[in-house]
Amino acid sequence: MNPLPLAVAAMMTTLTAAAADTTVTIYRADADALFSPGTQPLDQGHALVHEQRELTLAKGRHELAIGGLPSLLDSEAVGIDLGDGVRVLGQRVIAPGDAGVLGAHRGERVNVRGAGGELLAEGTLVAVDGEGLGVRDAQGRVSYLRNYLRVEFPDSSSLAGSTLQLALDASRAGPRRAALDYPTSGLGWRAAYAATLSDGGKSCRLRLEALASIANRSGRDWSAVSLKLVAGAPNFASGGYAPPPRMMAMKAAAAPAPEALPEQSALGDYRSYRIDGVLDLPDASVTQVPLYASREIDCTRRWLASYGNAWSPATPNWHDGGGSGTAVLPVRSQLGFQAPENLPAGRVRVLTRDRDGHGELLGEARTGDTAKGREVMLDLGIAFGLRAERERTAFSVDRAARTISEGFRITLENASESARSITVREHPERWRVWQVVESSQAPARKTPDLLEFVVSVPAHGSATLDYLLRYSWSAADERG
């Protein structure tokens, strides 16, 4: 290790004991890899850590190492406040890197022992390579050792993560309480919702349960931390540090259950959820805590047959395009409801009770941040017993009158045991000015680029929708 570019004394004091009074603010992340089983730190997610450390300082200029930090902390954004009478002359972060566990603890006090348990060297770990390590003793002499059995870290409670090395100038010796703040990746959270549809009845009702899933892939265990979760999507300028693989099994999180639901409040443009009490977040784990109390709410079911996308050409499109064939449209099953609370982005699992009483999955969908009272619409998948066919029935162009007429027939089939109201969604795409001149039923919704009909289809039956559009334009529109 190259020494800090400062004139400092040779003495090194190390503190890696478990941090006390630690608050971790974790931001919402939606990287699936972060929430999947893994054995190494993952450069995803973002958190801000505020922790207090009890240090013992020497008087004058000296070095100090703080270990047990996350493997993925942002080395350019580490801040430490040691109070009056202490100047920080320089600092550096040593991460595991290619030298692995030992490399992250350069600058810490070590005892190196041989095969028989004899002490080979004691002092400060100053260098690590592929074959051995270097130790500086109290007299400043450096020894390079290759044939050793064990390296002991007397001041460490954990060998995981990174080490912060500081060069200090203290006006007096003695204990100090230091405030340490830093951002790190490897931590993230997202909401996990379960929506269970109520049995029976003609109306749609569901029970909504909301949990916060908290992933820790930071390379560090977090014990008894106060936790805040932030919902929203701020920008982050992340680095590209990729640590080497580590041999570590996925751990089950044994966090104590909070006694109360999270306290919600505004945080600038975002939402903050303060978790009650303290939690343990073991490394390589996913911990879940309640976000809101479960509740029964009204919902709506929709079955959607959609064709095309919202689009308009630069000039009217009067070309036939060979569009006289029949297209089969999938009918998608959807579920909607009004957000009973501010719902952070996450994944929603929609369940229903089967005849044996077991809850079975109807579908999963992701939802974005949704303010209280806004609609949530979830796409659950393709309905098994519903089918739609779309056939063009008319097409003509009158260049002199600057009009296009185009008609379609939508045939809907329902092989299920219940009647269905299927929403047929069309996107008039030949020009932005159009009108419905004929239809077998009135449209339910019209916008400049959208046309919707809601068609009732009986159980084990079918229904047909016919409509005719007329596009019109001016001479100036032809020139674009």
| Residues listed for the chain | 480
Give pTM, 2 decimals.
Answer: 0.76
What is the end-to-end Cα distance of the chain in Å, rounded? 68
3-state secondary structure of 181: strand
Contact 281, 225 (CB under 8 A): yes
CA separation, residue 421 to residues 122, 279, 301, 414 (Å): 79, 48, 9, 10
Q: Strands 119-128 and 133-136, how do they pair?
A: antiparallel
User: Are 148 and 137 contacting, i.e. CB atoms less than 8 angstroms apart?
Assistant: no
Q: Rounded to whole angstroms, how far apart are CA atoms 345 and 220?
A: 26
Can you give the pLDDT of all 480 residues of the chain as single tens digits?
333 333 222 233 333 333 448 999 999 998 899 998 876 788 899 999 999 988 889 999 998 888 888 888 888 999 999 999 999 999 988 876 545 567 667 777 889 998 888 999 999 888 888 788 999 998 999 999 988 888 888 876 556 578 888 999 999 999 999 999 999 999 999 999 999 998 766 789 999 999 999 999 988 889 899 999 999 888 876 543 333 333 333 343 444 556 788 998 998 889 999 999 899 999 889 999 999 999 999 999 999 999 988 888 899 999 887 666 789 999 999 999 999 999 999 999 999 988 888 889 999 999 999 999 999 999 999 999 999 999 999 999 999 999 999 999 999 999 999 999 999 999 999 999 999 999 999 999 999 899 999 999 999 999 999 999 999 999 999 886
Q: Strand 420-426 to strand 300-306: parallel, antiparallel, or no bridges (unpaired)?
A: parallel
- Domains defined for the chain, CATH in brackets: 300-335+378-479 (2.60.40)
Q: Is 340 helix (H, G, I), strand (E, B) or coil?
A: coil
